[in-house]
Amino acid sequence: MAVIHKTTMQPTKLELLTEWLPTREWHTGGEAGPARVGGFRLDDPAGEVGIEFMAVTDGEGDGATTYLVPLTYRGEPLDGAERALVGTSEHGVLGKRWIYDGTHDPVLVAQLYALLTGRAQAQAQSLTDVPDLTVTVSPVTVEGTAGEAEAELVRVTDGPDHTDVVVRTPGAPAPLTLRVRRVLDAGTDLDPGVDGGVTAEWRLPDGTAVRGVFAVAVTGLGSDRT
């Protein structure tokens, strides 16, 4: 169970994202700076890594775009993930934290897979041990795997509005791609050929709540080559 501490972070998450977002190929610009408008958390079964799916809006008025930024928070660096580092921050309770683009973090990927296969529960973004019942899942069934099979991260590829995370599961006949939507649009319909998905809500700049697809699973979209 993740414990949400009511404390400070220096620099803040949004300050780090202000510098990091413009370096992403799926970022379309914006001068206002990101504002948090939604999201949820997942628990790390080992209790070591913080996992957050944060929706942020960058820009103003009709030019505002909402992005999905999965983040992980670690007490020490993640080996081999230097390119995925968003930044470091001093947490008022936990000390120095290394903050990563979570699509490159095997702990987040394993828990996103668990969510998509019905074995994990989305948690409230800012409350401890409170399920977020606004997050809905159309679960995916992976043929040839045991119900408790774990997903191994194979490869991460950024696209113009998404990030594809290819995973390998024991016994599965084909790789599974977890496609994380980076640019969020209202609408909960899953595209044809999608095997399952996660939908959640966020707020528009005027305060209106909308829902959209945060992530989907597609069998055979990627390859298990390294």
Domain extent at residue 138: 9-219
Our count of domains for the chain comes to: 1
User: Is residue 48 within 8 Å of 106, Cβ to Cβ?
Assistant: no
Calculate the alpha carbon distances from 35 to 7, 18, 60, 212, 224 in Å. 19, 9, 11, 18, 36
The sign of the torsion formed by the CA atoms of 53, 189, 181, 31 equals negative
Residue 22: strand, helix, or coil: helix
- Give the percent of the chain with pLDDT over 70: 91
How high is the pLDDT of residue 170?
A: 79
**Residue 204 falls inside a structural domain:** yes
**Residue 4 falls inside a structural domain:** no
Of the candidate ranges 29-38, 143-152, 213-222, the one whose mean pLDDT is the lowest: 143-152
Element (H, E) at 99: strand 95-101
Dist. CA 87–CA 15, nearest whole Å = 10
How high is the pLDDT of residue 55?
A: 98
How high is the pLDDT of residue 61?
A: 74
pLDDT tens per residue across span 209-225? 999 999 999 987 754 44
How high is the pLDDT of residue 5?
A: 66
